[in-house]
A and B are shown apart, each in its own frame.
Chain A
Amino acid sequence: MKVTTKFLSILGVFALLLLSSNAAFAKDKEGGYDPVSTVMEHIGDANEFHVWYDTHIPLPCFLYAPEHGWSIFWSSAFHHGHAVVDGYVLNHGRVNRIADPAYYANHAHTHDDHADHDHGGENHNHGSEGHGEGHGDYIHLDEIISKTVTVEETGVEKEVYYAIVDGKEYKLDKPSTIDGGVLGGGITSFYDFSITKNVATMLLAAILLIFLFRAVAKGYKKNEGKAPSGVQSFMEPFFVFIRDEVTVPMIGEHKYERFQPFIMTLFFFILFCNLLGLIPFFPGSANVTGNLAVTMVLAIFTMLVTNLNGNGHYWEHIFWMPGIPAWVKIILTPVEILGLFIKPFSLMIRLFANISAGHIIILSLIGLIFLFGENGENVGGAVAGGIVGGLFTAFMNLIELLVAFLQAFIFAILSASYIGAAVEEHHHEEGHEVAH
């Protein structure tokens, strides 16, 4: 009972915080609450770490535009989206680049200045408004507007953003993505190699993991020949679980040792990223494992480890499956080759979809507060939304906690099973069947 009251009061504070924060949600064209954009913005990556209301943790930006070269500065140089830095602006938390050559023609002098002050953003004084002070670094960004345009060739409608600087509109480019335009992205005029919110969270997870396991490893050194103690005995069941339930049964008694560190790293890296994503405030909240780029890299690692360790039997079974008629082999070989890519692809999609879905559901439930609250006009509705959404969110969080462990486990066990299939010493199947 006491816990429930405490929980509800925390929920209330949280709801009020959200209600009071105009930075936390996206507005639609009429200035109202836009639930879809809000959710998408929250699960997306960002170039600064939003803590609450107007507080942001600045993150380093490493930006590369082929026509301009590298730009390196802190995201605080954007003044929360009020400044143009090196032709870059902050649009809904993400760095965008002014693609219009007219901008660079109009602001040629500041452009040249930047050649000398590459890190200008870092030591930039917050108080120095306007570019008439001789610095030339600070270019005020009036506004970012969006227009829905129709792409001529395909007839598809698309949202295009424009930066308004000195009263003029300049088209904005999003960071390049490597989906080849299939998913609405593609190569644009610049690449974003910044330490984004997701990268910062990954680094945090990495640091936490290294500290945790350093303590655990120390425990093994200290307690050699003795019973485990402290954090060592807390983590040991995880290690033993991964070994006895994942690597040994999947890879086999004799070969599991080589792959145990990889599987452990996969499991704990995914788990920690998942769990950090469940924390609704700084330093959590980033949707790391719900980003396709992250799960793609993890899946590619699994694919590489699997195929680089594949033995002759494994490749024989892929290219020329023994023990079946030749005409079946002709059908089977392409299927097996496709399987090489489908397996890691399924890993990638499964983790991405599960974690993203969890974040979307929770954000949608929190969004009920704003929907019921009718943009702050209906406080009673907001409270009702807060209670309903809050309770469902609490429930969802419990499920997400399970999912965080489950997905890390599934990724690890499937990776182990793929590796196991690649390194397995086959007893020949035909012989096997005859023998029985």
Chain B
Amino acid sequence: MMEVLFLADFSVIRPDPGLILWTTVVFLLVWIILGRMAFRPIQNALKQREDDIQSSLDEAKRAREEMANLKAENEQLLIEAREERAKILKEAKEAKETIIEEAKDKAKEEAQKIVASAKQEIENQKMAAVTEVKNQMGKMAIEIAEKVMRKDLAADSGQKDFVNRLVDEFKLN
């Protein structure tokens, strides 16, 4: 009895064609409207946003890598520059030394030349002076000879001695 009553009243288990029709209509409407209006656009927007985020992350990663590369490159450049500088400095030093060396040599040579020419000059001067002296002495000899000649007239023996002495004196020179 109770079971029968229960089943008789349990209306929710008996599918009502009206409710079936309306559920179909409402569900289809919700599906079409929400699908068109919301779910597809949301889906696309979410996908786009996720792609954006992913590409931004990728971009950032790439940029970081590039930065790292750049840094390494810069360091390399710096090292190279340092080496270059050291090389240049070394070369400059060498050049300086060479120049100084050369200059020194040249100066030495020059000095030697000057000294040589000075010596030559001195020799020349000396020779000139000797020649002058000799000339003077010739002149003096002639004068002496003249004076002797004149004295000859006074004393013969004394004259002889005198001439000898004079000649000896000249020889000493």
Q: In the complex, which residue of chain B has the Cβ closest to the Cβ of A176?
A: B17
Interface string of A197-227 (1 = CB under 8 A from B): 0110011001001100110110011001100
CB of A135 within 8 Å of the partner chain: no
B71 smallest CB distance to A (angstroms): 31
Pairwise interchain contact B16-A175, C-beta atoms closer than 8 A: yes
We find that the number of chain B residues with CB closer than 8 angstroms to chain A is 42
Pairwise interchain contact A261-B31, C-beta atoms closer than 8 A: yes
Distance between Cα atoms of A260 and B35 in the complex (Å):
9
Known: A221-B41, A297-B27. A191 touches B18 (CB 8 A): yes
Contacts of A332 in B (CB 8 A): none
Distance between Cα atoms of A416 and B43 in the complex (Å):
17
Name which of B2-10, B89-97, B113-121, B150-158 contacts chain A.
B2-10
Pairwise interchain contact B13-A183, C-beta atoms closer than 8 A: yes
Distance between Cα atoms of A45 and B14 in the complex (Å):
11
Distance between Cα atoms of A294 and B17 in the complex (Å):
10
A230 smallest CB distance to B (angstroms): 14
Contacts of B33 in A (CB 8 A): 210
**A159, A177, A261: the one within 8 Å of B34 (CB):** A261
CB of B37 within 8 Å of the partner chain: yes
Identify which of A199, A261, A287 gathers the most chain B CB atoms within 10 Å of its CB. A261
B11 smallest CB distance to A (angstroms): 4
CB of B88 within 8 Å of the partner chain: no
CB of B1 within 8 Å of the partner chain: yes
**A178, A202, A269: the one within 8 Å of B22 (CB):** A202
B23 smallest CB distance to A (angstroms): 4
Distance between Cα atoms of A62 and B17 in the complex (Å):
12
Task: Please provide the chain B residues from 25 to 72 with a CB less than 8 Å away from any CB of chain A in the complex.
Answer: 26-27, 29-31, 33-35, 37-43, 45-46, 49, 52
Pairwise interchain contact A45-B38, C-beta atoms closer than 8 A: no
Contacts of A243 in B (CB 8 A): 43, 46
Q: In the complex, which residue of chain B has the Cβ closest to the Cβ of A199?
A: B22
Interface string of B129-153 (1 = CB under 8 A from A): 0000000000000000000000000
**B14, B21, B45: the one within 8 Å of A292 (CB):** B14
Contacts of A157 in B (CB 8 A): 1, 4
Pairwise interchain contact B39-A294, C-beta atoms closer than 8 A: no
Pairwise interchain contact B23-A213, C-beta atoms closer than 8 A: no
Pairwise interchain contact B37-A213, C-beta atoms closer than 8 A: yes
Contacts of B41 in A (CB 8 A): 217, 220-221
Known: A157-B1, A209-B30, A291-B12. A217 touches B17 (CB 8 A): no
CB of A185 within 8 Å of the partner chain: yes
Contacts of A183 in B (CB 8 A): 7, 10, 13-14
Interface string of A47-66 (1 = CB under 8 A from B): 00000000000000010000
CB of A40 within 8 Å of the partner chain: yes
Q: In the complex, which residue of chain B has the Cβ closest to the Cβ of A174?
A: B11
Distance between Cα atoms of A262 and B39 in the complex (Å):
9
**B11, B18, B24, B46: the one within 8 Å of A240 (CB):** B46
Pairwise interchain contact B12-A206, C-beta atoms closer than 8 A: no
Contacts of B29 in A (CB 8 A): 206
Q: In the complex, which residue of chain B has the Cβ closest to the Cβ of A263?
A: B39
Contacts of A239 in B (CB 8 A): 39, 42-43, 46
Q: In the complex, which residue of chain A has the Cβ closest to the Cβ of B29?
A: A206
Please list 16 pairs of residues, one from A and one from B, whose beta carbons are closer than 8 Å in the complex, sorted by A's number: A45-B16, A177-B14, A185-B11, A193-B22, A209-B34, A210-B37, A213-B39, A217-B37, A261-B35, A265-B30, A292-B14, A292-B15, A293-B19, A296-B20, A297-B23, A298-B23
13 further interface pairs, Cβ-Cβ under 8 Å (given A179-B15, A184-B10, A224-B45): A36-B2, A36-B6, A44-B12, A175-B18, A184-B14, A196-B19, A198-B22, A202-B26, A209-B34, A213-B34, A213-B42, A291-B19, A298-B23
B residues lining the A interface (CB < 8 Å):
1-2, 4-24, 26-27, 29-31, 33-35, 37-43, 45-46, 49, 52
A residues lining the B interface (CB < 8 Å):
36-37, 40-41, 43-45, 62, 94, 156-159, 175-179, 183-185, 191-196, 198-199, 202-203, 206, 209-210, 213-214, 216-217, 220-221, 224-225, 236, 239-240, 243, 257, 260-262, 264-265, 268-269, 287, 290-294, 296-298, 301, 352, 356
